[in-house]
Amino acid sequence: MNPNQIQVLKPNVSREEALRAFSAGNVSKLYWRMTRGPLQRLADIYVPFSLYTVRYKGKSMCKRVFAADAVNGSLDLFVFPRMPEAGQFLTVLTRNVIPASLPESRAKELLRDKVLRLIFQQGFFKLREPQIEITREGADVHVPYWLGFYGNTFVKCRALDAVRRRFEGAKASAFFEEWLAA
């Protein structure tokens, strides 16, 4: 495989749709334009995510597939009912890839914490000592994002998750701005 060729979850947002989303006239977009400046550029960026099978005991034995970002573990998890199949991926040739840098042991630690939060949000408060088994599955997959760059003097970015079709919050903006500054 070419070093710039990656496996990407199929995006649900085209460049034209992303441009419309970043340029729309709703309150959120107006706020960004007023506080950060006009939209200057739009770019696609790909973040590596590691796939994990997670087994845990709730009322019964549960098994889920999670994808966690392999850069610093701060982005939201992707949850799959089963391992994604080949038809859910595209092969993309690009240089807009953030390199994976999170050690495996730290990635599993962060994933375990996030999974515990999910379990407790589902009402499993009575679990005294939850047993969670985490297994890494295959190579990293990449998740596409659209970045909108705003501003005249200081550039700020806003991220649109191209798979889930939603704007990310301040945590994701800081994630991308930190990578761009490095």
Residue-by-residue pLDDT tens, the chain, 182 positions? 456 899 999 999 999 999 999 887 777 767 777 777 788 899 999 999 999 999 987 667 789 999 999 999 999 999 998 899 988 999 999 999 999 999 999 999 999 999 888 877 776 555 566 788 999 998 899 999 999 998 877 888 999 999 999 999 999 999 999 998 88
The first and second tokens of residue 80, run together, are 């799959």
Q: Which of 43, 7, 5 is nearest to 22 (CA)?
A: 43
60: domain range? 5-181
Domain count, the chain: 1
